[in-house]
Amino acid sequence: MRKVLTVNYSQTGQLSSILDSVVGPLKENKEITVDHLVIKPKVDFPFPWPFGQFFRVFPETVAMDPIELEPFETQFEKYDLIILSYQVWFLTPSLPISSFLQLPQTKQLFKDTPVVTLIGCRGMWLSAQEKMKKLLADADANLVDNVVLSDDCGAAFSFLATPLWMMTGKKKPLSWVPAAGVSQTDIANAKRFGYAIRQRLLLNDTPITRPMFFGMKAVKINEKLIASERVGNHSFSIWSKILKKFGSQQSFGRAVGLSVYVVFLVTLILTVVPITAIIKKLIAPLTRKKIAKQKAYYAEPSGE
């Protein structure tokens, strides 16, 4: 009997649907058992998520400061595979997930175990996955595959569509804005990864040490966003430290600091991001080999 554990925190429910699609083929086979671990913060994050409350957790999210979670039950048995699904908040794994991965019992659970990361996000996930790699390495886990499903409306429109979804709870609150979120077609097609996992689990009883999703387009690297993510991640790191000094999450000082930061962020998105994209396009012939190397690195371990 092969044993699989899923770990999930889904604020909107979309990530749970993606995970269900992937796990579906595993549940169809009697030789595979699937256990589920749902992460629950002591103080949960609302959905819809008011704009102000969303930004108040920005510093702690970027710093990956652990929050208190509800106790969870697990036998700490040895699993053949862990499927870890997560959202991206501020170019970082969501706060409930990063908090979970820093628990001593989690490190015991993940130690020497193959892990598949499953990301549902707006589109920018490279920095978050780099941080995830570090968290998994600290737990002595073995990352064997990564799957990313991103919003169907495109990078430009998602700057508006995703915040609207977050604040209203509706994927398409305005007729002229494309629907936010991963398409139902992409969610349904994610079951192909479940079939690949099932095939490998039933092949033999040896530990999974190599990627299972080569050639399956598990991820897609948008080379235009590589530089933007680096700039954004560096900026987030600096502002996270600054905003903490303004006060606690609910303090007036934090609110003042966040007001300044939001203006800075909007300016960054409207100026630095497009300027960076233009510069990248102009120098593309000179950096083709470097970009190809970066894309290959970020696409690991599953590949595009």
State pLDDT tens for residues 46-60: 999 888 888 899 999
| Alpha carbon distances (Å) from 204 to 101, 133, 216 | 29, 27, 22
Residue 302 lies in a domain: no
Residues of the chain predicted below pLDDT 70:
74-76, 153-158
Element (H, E) at 37: strand 32-38
| Among 221, 244, 272, residue at a domain's last position | 221
Which residues 6+ apart lie within 8 Å of 185 measured at CB?
none
Residue 258 lies in a domain: yes
Q: Which domain holds residue 266?
A: 224-297
Residue 303 lies in a domain: no
Q: Judge if 6 and 61 occupy the same domain.
A: yes
Q: Judge if 11 and 150 occupy the same domain.
A: yes
Q: Judge if 137 and 281 occupy the same domain.
A: no
Instruction: Give pLDDT, residue 209.
Output: 96
Residue 304 lies in a domain: no
Residue 287 lies in a domain: yes
Measure the CA–CA gap between 10 and 87, rounded to whole angstroms: 7
Q: For residue 3, which of 76, 58, 53, 57 has the smallest C-alpha distance?
A: 76
Q: Judge if 255 and 132 occupy the same domain.
A: no
Q: Judge if 196 and 263 occupy the same domain.
A: no
Measure the CA–CA gap between 170 and 304, rounded to whole angstroms: 31
Going 261 to 266 to 267 to 273, the CA torsion angle's sign is positive
What digits encode the pLDDT tens for the residues 256-265?
999 998 888 8
Q: Judge if 268 and 196 occupy the same domain.
A: no
Instruction: Give pLDDT, residue 76.
Output: 59
Residue 172 lies in a domain: yes
Q: Judge if 145 and 22 occupy the same domain.
A: yes
Instruction: Give pLDDT, residue 269.
Output: 75
Instruction: Give pLDDT, residue 201.
Output: 97
Q: Judge if 202 and 242 occupy the same domain.
A: no
| Among 198, 221, 244, residue at a domain's last position | 221
Residue 208 lies in a domain: yes
CB atoms within 10 A of CB 158: 22
Give how many domains the chain has, as a whole number. 2
Instruction: Give pLDDT, residue 174.
Output: 79
3-state secondary structure of 170: coil
CATH number at residue 75: 3.40.50.360
Residue 11 lies in a domain: yes
Q: Judge if 211 and 229 occupy the same domain.
A: no
- The answer to whether 14 and 45 are in contact (CB under 8 A) is no
Measure the CA–CA gap between 191 and 267, rounded to whole angstroms: 40
Measure the CA–CA gap between 288 and 122, rounded to whole angstroms: 26
| Among 197, 221, 245, residue at a domain's last position | 221
Q: Give the pTM.
A: 0.92
